[in-house]
Structure 1
Amino acid sequence: MRLVHDVSCKSIIEGDESEIAKAESLMKQISYFPASDLTVTAATQDCAKFHQLYGYDSIPNSNEERDFPLAYNILFYKDVAQIEMLLRAIYKPQNYYCLHVDGFAPESVHTAASALANCFENVFIASRTENIVYKSFARLQADINCMSDHLDLAEDWKYLINLPGQEYPLKTNQEIVKILKIYNNANDIEGILGKGLLSTRYIYEYKNVNTTSNKYNIISTNKRNPPPPHRISIVKGSAYGVFTRGFVDYVINNQTAKDFLNWCKGVLSPDEYYWATLNHNPHLSVPGSKADEKDWLAAFASWKGTDKCRGRWQRGVCVFGVGDLNYLISKKHLFANKFVIDYQPLPMQCLSEWLTNKTMTPLPFDSQYYKQLPFINNHF
């Protein structure tokens, strides 16, 4: 069994308050993973040694997983050490991983990310880099750049999952595969209507304005946007989802998708509208879309005022701490957001131990919850 030094992750995950308190007091002393971009760059100079030291060579791989390859987008602007932890948690040699490093990120981040990617045949840097500002169109374009690269790179992957660098899995790769096989070519994309639409984000046009720091701000022009093309009704959702290969092909190659993407250039936070709108407009007949509502299971986040948080709040979202782990492992979601390595590395380390132990000694997977989801047999 893999253990984290000085604390019992098993006890922490089981909710032992004394062990949680001990872990919180020792937090700064127990991180043995690379702590900076420079240490990741140094660790990956000898790829064979790196694979062995970090356990990539010893990850079990079932036939079921080999026959169901996945594609991932990972978008980030800092902390390549945390990206390595995320990559290791979801890594399989048959999967594909696109790393998009924010164009505004420091050179050390780009260097470390390239060094990490160079140690794998199935990990690559996005062919086109975007300069990303919070709520900007560039955030959506970065995902689309990776999607295009994945379509060009390989023909065998079944689903694509897009991740920010601060997510971490709650399921093993084998469990994710089992769930997605139950999905049977249906997307998992959040859809929100009513007051949650935040309609001022798209009724009025937004644009980028350059600043003296060579970056830009996003401002409202106070001008109304034209109606969306193709009789599209706007739906809000998350920037993150689980997308069938057919959906990704539609996004990249279908003219309707391209027209709507162009319209989204005037929208604030368009990544929270683009996927959801395409998926929830039945007349578009987008591959993998579905007609009825369901629980969105791509990623779990704790929201201030609704959910609990033993870590800290950031922009109304919980940055998970060790005290949240018992709560998190009960979730049906594939991933959780968010974790911050320089705040508390231990939650990811304990989840890594928990996932590794489940991978090494798989238990029977209870699939009943997923089989009963209303959309399973009702998508077009």
Structure 2
Amino acid sequence: MNAAKWSFLLCAAVSVAVCLCIYITGRVKRPVPQGWSFDRAGCGDYPDELCAALFQGKAAALGLGAECEQLHRPKAEPEPGTELNCSRLLASHSYIRQTLSREEADFPLAYILAVHKDLDTLEWLLRAIYAPHNIYCIHVDNKTSAAFRRGVGQLAACFSNVFVASRSEAVVYGGFSRLQADLNCMQELALPRLRWRYAINLCGQDYPLKTNRELVRFLKSHPWRDKNITPGILQPEHMKPRTSHVHREHISPGQSYVIKTQARKTAGVPHGLRLYFGTAYYALTREFVHFVLRDQRAKDLLQWSRDTYSPDEHYWVTLNRIADAPGADPNAEWEGNIRSIKWLDQAQVTHNGCKGHYVRNICVYGLGDLEWLAQRDGLFANKFEVNSHPLVAQCMERWLRPRTLSQSEVPIQQEWHIKDNKCFFDIENNDCSIPLMR
């Protein structure tokens, strides 16, 4: 082989090696600083085309998405003593800080968010539901770490219309404390200086399926105008042990649960109320919230419910069946789709199974659930984990935000668009080495 051929082969080999090196380098993630990163996804940029294919359930997109998600590494909570840089957060996280329409301004909403973990997922939810004319009360489980409570407080402090409930409960799943957490926020939201028309409760792992304007139009539409939404039915026979026996909350280091005792409740339901069973999630008129806080029947039912199991699944729905309660709907049943949820026992009955993983028999959505989610008509969906399924979170944003902006009556600001860069530190310079910390 002559010298010219050897030179050609050598150059070709070098070119291949350089290209391979560039490819591998491009695939390697830059190290992510610890602390207040609030990384939405953590595994690179995802074009709209990939998310669109995932919402269509295309197998090739599912394979690529799964590969990307494996690159993500969950981050630690903020280090003690650190502070959130609010200016950097608001500038880089696509918060819409202007009311988009007169219709929305005239119909402000109040949100009650009960949270106990995962700052990333909470912040992802907040920026989806945030509007400057709404009000947000965050109840933080008193059992959480000091770092988490401090982090939530710092996040709330970045906004004039977001606050942390001043009274915090040690929340036990299925216990009275979960109901009390909502009532703590209601007490503060009921102040006359706060303007809102409906109160909506969420947990920190929910996500909206409708824009703010779509929510407003839904609540103003027939048959919901001036009505509460508390889907439910008369208490079924198999649910009666929840309220016929005394239950106690148990809290010890590392675990908490509700214990059913052998003791039967001796007192009947106060005021001869008929118990209903339904969802713990609701949309309540302001007048009904005042009724809940002040009416003697509501107070007595609350007291009676203290030793029942999961009282939030009978309290709201029972009060909303009282004929003279504001916004009541005594004949309502399961109408009003507040939540889209994939329950384990409903797999292959009402849904096609969970493509992520189950927690307490509820699906934490994976990539294969996006197609199903896009077809739901509920107001919100549950449940999501940004760090477990980062691409799901990012695609949900890319699915919701364009629709939100398309409904705006004011000029669209560039920072309202979901950004392609996902390091969330210095967006302008595309530099992940500068954190959101001061």
Q: TM-score range by the shorter chain?
A: 0.7 to 0.9
Partner AA of 2:264 in structure 1: R
* 1:141 aligned partner: 180
Is the 1:196–1:236 Cα contact (8 Å) retained in structure 2? no
Is residue 339 of structure 2 the alignment partner of residue 299 of structure 1? yes
Is residue 55 of structure 2 the alignment partner of residue 10 of structure 1? no
Is residue 184 of structure 2 the alignment partner of residue 184 of structure 1? no
* 2:116 aligned partner: 77
Is the 1:40–1:81 Cα contact (8 Å) retained in structure 2? no
TM-aligned CA deviation for residue 41 of structure 1: 9.0
* 1:333 aligned partner: 378
* 2:320 aligned partner: 279
Superposition TM-score, scaled by structure 2 size: 0.76
Shift in CA distance, 123/322, structure 1 to aligned 2, threshold 3 Å: same
* 1:229 aligned partner: 270
State the aligned residue count.
355
* 1:265 aligned partner: 306
- 2:363 aligned counterpart, secondary structure: strand
Higher relative contact order (Cα pairs below 8 Å, separated by 6+ residues): 2
TM-aligned CA deviation for residue 123 of structure 1: 0.3
Distance 1:196 1:320 in 2: 31
* 1:116 aligned partner: 155
Distance 1:361 1:297 in 2: 24
Shift in CA distance, 210/325, structure 1 to aligned 2, threshold 3 Å: closer
* 1:351 aligned partner: 396
Partner AA of 1:335 in structure 2: F
Matches within 5 A, 1:48-197: 48-57=87-96, 61-152=100-191, 154-182=193-221, 183-193=224-234, 195=236
Q: State which of 56, 62, 66 in structure 2 corresponds to 1:20.
A: 62
Gaps of 5+ in 1: 364-380
Gaps of 5+ in 2: 1-40, 409-438
Larger radius of gyration: 2
Shift in CA distance, 85/238, structure 1 to aligned 2, threshold 3 Å: same
Is the 1:191–1:280 Cα contact (8 Å) retained in structure 2? no
Distance 1:132 1:73 in 2: 15
TM-aligned CA deviation for residue 203 of structure 1: 0.4
Shift in CA distance, 255/215, structure 1 to aligned 2, threshold 3 Å: farther
Q: Deviations over 1:297-317 (max 9, x none)?
A: 111101123222222222222
Shift in CA distance, 210/169, structure 1 to aligned 2, threshold 3 Å: closer
Shift in CA distance, 58/41, structure 1 to aligned 2, threshold 3 Å: farther
* 1:310 aligned partner: 355
- 2:163 aligned counterpart, secondary structure: strand
TM-aligned CA deviation for residue 35 of structure 1: 4.2
Shift in CA distance, 232/161, structure 1 to aligned 2, threshold 3 Å: same
TM-aligned CA deviation for residue 39 of structure 1: 8.2
Distance 1:76 1:40 in 2: 20
Superposition TM-score, scaled by structure 1 size: 0.87
Shift in CA distance, 194/56, structure 1 to aligned 2, threshold 3 Å: closer
CA RMSD of aligned residues (A): 2.4
* 1:45 aligned partner: 84
